[in-house]
Amino acid sequence: MADLILRSLRRDDLDSVSGIESRIAGHSRKGFLEKRFTAAAESPDGFIACASVREGKLAGYAIARIQEGEFGGQDAAAVLDVVGIDPDVQGKGIGRAVLAELERRMKVRGIGILRTQADWGSPAMIRFFSSAGFRLAPVQILERDTSPLREEVGSARAFPRSPMRGGGEFQETLSRDRVPVRSLKEDDLAAVARIDRKLTARDRSAYYAAKLREMLTESGIRVSLVAEEDGFVVGFVMARVDFGEFGRVDKAAVMDTIGVHPGFSGSGIGHALLSQLFLNLSTLQVETVLTQVSPENIGLQRFLYSCGFHPSQRLALSKAVS
Q: What is the CATH number of the domain that holds 233?
A: 3.40.630.30
For the chain, how many structural domains are there in total?
A: 2
Beta-ladder partners of 260: 235
Do the beta carbons of residue 149 and residue 274 sit within 8 Å? Answer: yes
Do 168 and 270 have their domain in common? yes
Do 185 and 278 have their domain in common? yes
Do 100 and 168 have their domain in common? no
For residue 156, being part of any structural domain is answered with yes
For residue 14, being part of any structural domain is answered with yes
Do 185 and 264 have their domain in common? yes
Do 26 and 151 have their domain in common? no
d(CA 322, CA 150) in angstroms, rounded, equals 46
Q: What is the pLDDT of residue 183?
A: 93
Phi, psi of 235 (to 5 degrees): -165, 160
**40 sits in which H/E element:** helix 30-42
Task: Look up the pTM and report it.
Answer: 0.81
Q: What is the pLDDT of residue 67?
A: 83
Q: What is the pLDDT of residue 242?
A: 60
For residue 137, being part of any structural domain is answered with no
For residue 132, being part of any structural domain is answered with no
Do 154 and 102 have their domain in common? no
Block mean pLDDT (10 aa), the chain, length 322: 86 95 85 86 90 95 83 73 93 94 96 94 93 94 94 44 39 66 93 93 86 71 89 94 55 90 92 96 91 90 96 95 85
For residue 118, being part of any structural domain is answered with no
Do 16 and 78 have their domain in common? yes
d(CA 14, CA 63) in angstroms, rounded, equals 12
Do 169 and 266 have their domain in common? yes
Beta-ladder partners of 148: none
For residue 317, being part of any structural domain is answered with no
For residue 292, being part of any structural domain is answered with no
Which residues constitute the domain of residue 226? 147-286
CA distances from 98 to 50, 51, 110, 257, 320 (A): 7, 7, 18, 31, 17
Please count the helices (runs of H) and the strands (runs of E) in the chain.
9, 16
Do 278 and 152 have their domain in common? yes
Q: What is the pLDDT of residue 62?
A: 97
